Amino acid sequence: MKTKITAILATSYHDGYCSGETCGYKTERVEFVIEVPQGMENKISEEHYNDWQKYLPKQSMGGGSYYCCLSDECEANGLDRHEYKYNIISIEVVDNK
């Protein structure tokens, strides 16, 4: 069985070296089709969305030296330097074989 997960990916990042840069807040809508992990077959409802976070792709935010600044928008949205988080919007079964 496969599911399509739609989420908002929020990132706190910048290009280049950390010195003097500011991690900006960026969001984008993303979709992933994944095989349903064992034990998650009955956890498609919204109350279980947080349980699916660990099955979404890891994002490379670069290690960096962390000498960069953090934008107010990142702080307001709970992101530290070089972090990301997913906010799952929906999960739907797309292949029930």
| Residue in the structure block whose two tokens are 């500011």 | 22
The token pair that represents 67 in the structure block: 């000498």
Measured between alpha carbons, how far is 9 from 6 in angstroms, rounded to an integer? 10
Summarize pLDDT for 65-74 with one digit per residue, the tens. Answer: 778 888 999 9
Task: Check residue 78 and give its pLDDT.
Answer: 94
Summarize pLDDT for 54-96 with one digit per residue, the tens. Answer: 999 999 877 667 788 889 999 999 999 889 999 999 999 998 7
Q: Are 32 and 4 in contact (CB under 8 A)?
A: yes
Measured between alpha carbons, how far is 30 from 7 in angstroms, rounded to an integer? 5
Q: Are 47 and 20 in contact (CB under 8 A)?
A: no
Task: Check residue 64 and give its pLDDT.
Answer: 66
pTM, 2 dp? 0.86
Question: What three-state secondary structure class fits 38?
Answer: coil
The confidence band for 97, taking pLDDT boundaries of 50, 70 and 90, is low
Q: Is 15's pLDDT higher than 90? A: no
Q: What does the mean pLDDT of the chain come to?
A: 90
DSSP E strand stretches across the chain:
2-13, 22-35, 69-70, 84-95
- Domain coordinates of the chain in residue numbers? 2-95
